Chains A and B, each alone.
Chain A
Amino acid sequence: MSGDGATDGLTRRTQNSSRELLAKAFFFGCAALSVATTLSIIGLLVYEAAKFFTISAPLLGIDGPTATLTEFFTGSEWGLQGPNLGVMPLVAVTLMVTIGSGLIAIPLGVATALYLSEYASERARSYLKPALEILAGVPSIIYGIFAVAYITPVLDTLFGVDGLFNVASACIVVGIMILPMVASVSEDAMQAVPDDLRQAGYGMGATKYDVSTGIVVPAAASGIFSSFILALSRAIGETMAVTLAGGSLARSFDPTSLASYLSLFDPDSYLEPGMTMTAAMIQLLTGDVTGGGLAYRSLFAVGLVLFVITLGMNVLSDVIARRYQEDYQ
């Protein structure tokens, strides 16, 4: 986007040589590829998922078993035998992982951001920030192995876990994984708070504690909030760690009853196994996949739900983040 004004006139004459046009076309093609990627994701997910639903499948010439939208969104069981095609039991466990990992990542992440932004020396920052980057860089399959091999035994000693798989260990490793995202996005927001505000606080006799909690955090609130959403959307899309740690038990969950929502906050239910949307997708892969059967189509239906949720959260976080940028610029 640079070089728009002054240089345009100078370069116009040579701009239309075939070499220039070819170069431009190549670069444009690359950029367009990113749009094509998005369109293919959306198109593929919608098209394949449409074959899964009773309402649209006949239009696409599918005569195999299908699911109604009501069944899919209000069914209380997940399983491909019989009429059990509710996605909500999977969404519920995904929500549990989101809540659990958020409980770890959000307080720790904000505290980390505040420390790095307001308290840490330049030298401490130069060591802590790369260390935090490593937390985010460790592959999720490794976190899954950590959860099963090292964290579940600890949970077992502390709380008595029944069996090898549980949601709690998944929450812990996913929490560690998304912590750096909360920390770095929140820290950026805190750094963007103009120093004038801090000086004004000190000028009124406020302590560093007062300034941090009373000025910096509120002023950066929208950025901090957007970091939560961004990090939680990562937790929702997380696959390997929750697959290895959480197991593959499709819980039953009745989306029409209040009690089942309350059970999401019951600590005991975190000590039991549970299958998230992503874990169910991995499990479906061992089933009837490329042949185009029910499992293949349901895979895309679940994928579509996952995509819509994470996309929605990304857009939301973007909108919130843009607001705070406008505040101080």
Chain B
Amino acid sequence: MAKQTDGVSRRTFLASAAATGAVAAAGCTSNTGTETDGGLSGDINISGSSTVFPLAVAMREDFTAEEMHPNVDISVNSTGSGGGFTNYFCTGDTDFNNASRPIKGVEEGQCSDNDVTPVELKVATDALTVVVNNDADWFGEEGKECLTVEQLAEVWSAEDKPTTWSDVNSDWPDEEIQLYGPTDASGTFDYFIEEVIGEEGSHRTDYQSTEQDNQIINGVANSEYAIGYMGFAYYSENTDRVTALGIDNGDGCVKPTLDTASSGEYQPLSRPLFTYPAQSALAEEHVAEFARFWLENSTSESIVADEVGYVPNTEDERDEMLDRLDSAIEAASE
């Protein structure tokens, strides 16, 4: 169109119009409607525990893979177990809530006020892991670093609030303790209070609290006198950057591993992880299908243990959970 030509003949115009028409005719298809062919579609919103978060993300990734259900849009938010229940799940905003502890009575009450019926599904077992810096050498010889439950409680409880390591044990360095842990909205936090500090005690507040467990790893990895705790999955991705402490519950020191967690040796910190679909949401096919997919893969070594870093369900557990899910789906569709 840049060049000056000597006029457009009628013929040129007609030719181009005809060409356009031909292309236009070629550009028509029969109407298949707007719904997508095959596969399921719809939105799924998931809130809750940061501990279960990586597991949920892994399941999302596999479920929405191209050959599975690419048109299901799953969003996952790491809000802490409690934060998820009170703010998102029990208000009816999300379809699933992940939790690193069972749902509390108060939360169940809030849910039922809004006609939300949570269905408890155990999806894995975690070893809540206490980590310190790789250069911290006062916890015992390399490979056998250890802390007793009492010492752990002393470090984290609001009563003693030791500021230096020597306050906990006079043989330890006179250096300030740097604390990294989950926020109070976290199930990990609740579980830690329950099992380590004790229900009547309270957790100290002068620590770096975050719902992003990798920040805990980062903080500990960068500071020699730091200690932190979070779900095993985050440790298992970073075994070279931080050191996991063994925990001595009176029967000698046990390191957190998938084996010690599944055998129940790692006490008191091995714990079940849950996801709670809302029963009403299960009436939708894509939600029910995702819940079933998650449970069916909850025994998968490759996803749960290798990719994420938790202890997979046993087949018996899986079958029990599938039965529970099926009856919930049935109840929902009635």
Residues in A lying within 8 Å of B, measured CB to CB: 77-82, 84, 162-165, 247-252, 273, 283, 286-291, 293, 295-296
Contact = CB atoms under 8 A, between A and B. Distances in A.
Nearest to A286: B211
B234 to A, nearest CB: 15
Interface stretch (B84-92, B282-290, B308-316, B326-334): B84-92
B158 interface: yes
A291 B208 contact: no
Contacts of B184: 79-81, 287
Given A250-B206, A286-B79, 9 more contacts: A81-B205, A162-B225, A163-B223, A247-B215, A248-B209, A250-B209, A286-B183, A286-B210, A291-B86
Nearest to B50: A286
Nearest to A295: B185
8 contacts: A77-B206, A79-B184, A82-B205, A164-B221, A250-B205, A250-B206, A287-B80, A290-B87
B219 A165 contact: yes
Contacts of A163: 178, 219, 222-223, 226
A266 to B, nearest CB: 15
B78 interface: yes
A57 to B, nearest CB: 18
B208 A165 contact: yes
B203 interface: yes
Given A248-B208, A252-B206, A287 B183 contact: yes
A287 B206 contact: no
Nearest to A287: B185
Contacts of B110: 291
Nearest to A78: B205
Contacts of B224: 162
Interface string B83-115: 100111011010000000000000000100000
Nearest to B93: A290
Contact of B86 (A162, A247, A248, A288): A288
Interface of B: 78-80, 82-83, 86-88, 90-91, 93, 110, 158, 178, 183-185, 202-203, 205-211, 215, 218-219, 221-226
A78 B205 CA distance: 7
Q: Is the interface of B mostly helix, strand, loop or mixed?
A: loop
Nearest to A249: B208
A286 B185 contact: yes
A320 to B, nearest CB: 39
Residue of A77, A164, A165, A247 with most partner-chain B CB within 10 A: A164
Contacts of B222: 162-164
A133 to B, nearest CB: 33
Contacts of A290: 87-88, 91, 93
Contacts of A291: 86-87, 90-91, 110
Contacts of B202: 81-82
Contacts of A293: 86
Contacts of B90: 291
B205 A283 contact: no
A250 B206 CA distance: 6
A295 B202 CA distance: 17
Contact of B78 (A162, A248, A286): A286
A81 B80 contact: no
A289 B86 CA distance: 8
B91 A79 contact: no
Contacts of A80: 184, 205
A79 B181 CA distance: 13
Which of A165, A248, A273, A289 has the largest count of B CB atoms less than 10 A from its CB?
A248
B206 A164 contact: no
Contacts of B178: 162-163
A295 B211 CA distance: 14
A273 B179 CA distance: 11
